[in-house]
Amino acid sequence: MADFLCCHLTTSCSADVGKEAELHFFSREVSPEAMRKAERAACDAEMFGTETLGVIRAPLYTYRNRAGKGLPAFLSNAFAGNARAQLLYGLYAKDILGEQEIRAALEASSKAT
């Protein structure tokens, strides 16, 4: 299970209040062609538009001279459940961003409009 990163247990989901749910988070490195193929396939999925809106690419950059753009602006959006925490954990666990970069993006996200 090299792709498994973490699991969270929640005691209430919006659809089933009072029910427990396990939220699993996986990460896999893929080739650019495999990513393009997955993005195209997501748009053709049976549940596209109802249960999924496709693949979303998080911007992993922050402009030094334009605060609140890139990753900070992305992080200022509303995330479902603990998706924001899982994204940040994944970026750190896979050594894509360091702790200081994540802290700076979080700080700037609170100022993003």
* Alpha carbon distance 61, 72 (integer Å): 9
In sequence order, the 6+-apart residues with CB closer than 8 A to the CB of 109 are 68, 71, 72, 73, 74, 75, 76
Helix (H/G/I), strand (E/B), else coil: 83: helix
Number of domains, the chain? 1
* Alpha carbon distance 19, 29 (integer Å): 33
What does the pLDDT read at residue 43?
85
What does the pLDDT read at residue 16?
54
**0.85 cut: is pTM over it?**
no
- pLDDT tens, the chain, 113 aa long: 579 998 888 776 555 556 777 888 899 999 999 999 988 888 888 888 777 767 888 999 987 766 668 999 999 999 887 889 999 999 999 999 999 999 999 998 887 65
The domain of 103 spans 4-109
Q: Which CATH number does the domain housing residue 57 bear?
A: 3.90.79.10
What does the pLDDT read at residue 47?
81
